Chains A and B, each alone.
Chain A
Amino acid sequence: MNDSTNTTPNDEASRGDALPDPALPVRAVIALREAYGANRDLPASTDAVVLRQLFERRRREDARRRTMWSLQFAAVLGLVATVVYIGNRGRDEARTIAAATPADRAAPERAATLAESGPMSAPRSASRVETFGAAAQPAGVTILDAYRLARKVDGKGFISSGERVPDATEVDEIVARVVESDVDSLRSAAEGDGFLDARPESRAEVSRSAPTRVVSYDIKLDTGSRALAAFQIELELSAPDTAQVTGFWMRGGSHPALQRAPFFNKSIAKQLKAKPGTRVRIPLANFDTGEDLPVGDQQVARVVLSVVGAGHPGLTARLVVAAGPEAVPIPAAVRVVERGDAEVKKDEKK
């Protein structure tokens, strides 16, 4: 302040405290107020305008504030939704990882074994009727994971001790994933060696009067001198345009160890009878934990079809993996051998 150049604010305050309250003569006060127009009052019309504009401004401000709150609320909601989504996705991934744990846990072991067994003789993509060569270690869950666990259940496990011993349900769950079935269907299919659903669809392409034929295919696997403990094959069955597959059976192999019908998804029958010309992929797998295992070229499964109408179904096989008792992939060749067909008299069907 200009009026206190030689004093500090504290000096000024303490000096003022000692002074009496300052006062002006009334006429000086009046003169001051007249000079500064203190007596003038605003007209009512001005008040009305000012107040109206003030309230209008406040209304706009409130609206803006509400909009901001809405935006902030929406942003927070979005954030919460994102966090929940990420959390759920994380849990799903954790479940997936947990479900795939047996295979993933075995991955380093597989890699080591593959390195020991040398290069595989055929690429995994080879998939004609006769495919030769063992598949390289396939990605994801395979029948080998179920086989390993089943070996543990049998008490002949080779997995290091200290791991949790799984129960048979866990084996079934893995097998069901391998053949793309659910556990209940898998178990019910395993009770028999196949199933029959021999009611043909009434379609223009398939004559009702056409005879029913039975066609069977042997799935053969050649492992050379190595014993076969587990295998996983992918079949592709294509019904001709002029015929319809009306029945489907799956039977086991020729060797006692593999006589039980392989695991497969029995719901494929519905797809097969959907319409002529249908093409169906059938994952197929089997294993045996016993000591007596087949060696060389042998039948590991048989597919039996009942067909109505002219034309011949086509069946191809692709080897996913074959493994010996050590549960490591071995070289193998898969082929499909058609056994010919036989006409079934209608009165013999039942």
Chain B
Amino acid sequence: MMSPHHPPTPHDDAPAPIRFPGRKADEDGRADALLVGLASRGDDEAFMALYRRHKNFVMNVARRFTRDESEALDVLQDTFAYLLKRLPDLRLTAKLSTFLYPAVKNIALTIRRKDRGVALTPSHDRALDDAPESPLSVDIKALIANLPEGQQEVLLLRFVDDLSLREVAAALGIPVGTVKSRLHQAIATLREDPRTRALFDMDDSG
């Protein structure tokens, strides 16, 4: 499933992103900081480029916190509305994801708190994906759900959302050493668990 044009480089801190089928490459090569600068001066095209670049990251994080597709869409909209509001005085020094992650998390948790008093309807419990999940996916999610919250966050940001160690540290506001420490602990848990041990049997991570 791996693209032949982008072989993994195991010891690189910021490995080239792994391309997956169905995942669109970012067609706009301009840096986030440049696009933010343009968008802050009213360039709607630049804002739309930022949206296209980061919408999936926002949706993924939102889904993880809300576990509901419609709520995740609300989070998506509120997050980019927040970005739009902050644009005039936003000075980006890192990737936009590091700015967006705390916003997504807070907005998602706020929405969940609001909905806590509402009686659950089928839509609230609706599976995120209508397609049935594979047994491995169920096992992985169950296993990760049992990890401490700090380990869950760094693991998913690093390997699902494809952020570098420094970006994860920036997004969470913690030192890079802490990120590495938590990642090692999370990976060790996965490696030792019988349900996911098979993923590590022919270890290609180096």
Give me the interface of A with B, judged by CB distance under 8 Å. 1-4, 9, 12-42, 46-47, 50-51, 53-55, 57-58, 61
Contact = CB atoms under 8 A, between A and B. Distances in A.
Contacts of B179: 16
Contacts of B18: 26, 29
Contacts of A33: 20, 159-160
Interface in B7-37: 8, 10-11, 13, 18, 20-24
Interface in B136-159: 136-138, 140-141, 144, 147-151, 155-156, 158-159
A61 B185 contact: no
B199 A2 contact: no
Given A13-B181, A42-B56, A55 B44 contact: yes
Interface string B87-119: 000000000000000000000000000000000
A4 B205 contact: no
Contacts of B141: 35-36
A22 B161 contact: no
B81 A51 contact: no
18 contacts: A2-B150, A3-B150, A16-B175, A19-B181, A20-B11, A24-B187, A26-B18, A29-B159, A30-B1, A31-B136, A32-B140, A33-B20, A35-B138, A40-B129, A41-B22, A42-B76, A54-B77, A54-B80
Interface in B149-191: 149-151, 155-156, 158-161, 165, 174-185, 187, 190
Contact of B51 (A9, A40, A47): A47
A36 B84 contact: no
A31 B200 CA distance: 11
Contacts of B10: 23
Given A29-B18, A32-B159, A39-B23, A2 B177 contact: no
A9 B169 CA distance: 13
Interface residues of B, number: 73
A16 B174 CA distance: 12
Given A9-B178, A35-B136, A35-B141, A21 B13 contact: yes
Nearest to A4: B150
B59 interface: yes
B129 A57 contact: no
A57 to B, nearest CB: 5
Contact of A16 (B84, B129, B178, B199): B178
The residue in A33, A35, A61 that gathers the most chain B C-beta atoms within 10 A of its C-beta is A35
A22 B183 contact: yes
A59 to B, nearest CB: 11
A215 B205 CA distance: 130
A35 B18 CA distance: 16
A4 to B, nearest CB: 7
Top 4 A-B residue pairs of the complex, sorted by shortest distance between their CB atoms: A16-B181, A16-B177, A13-B177, A2-B148
B172 to A, nearest CB: 10
A30 B21 CA distance: 11
A3 B151 contact: yes
Contacts of B177: 12-19
B204 to A, nearest CB: 5
B50 to A, nearest CB: 11
Nearest to A36: B160
Contacts of A41: 22-24, 56
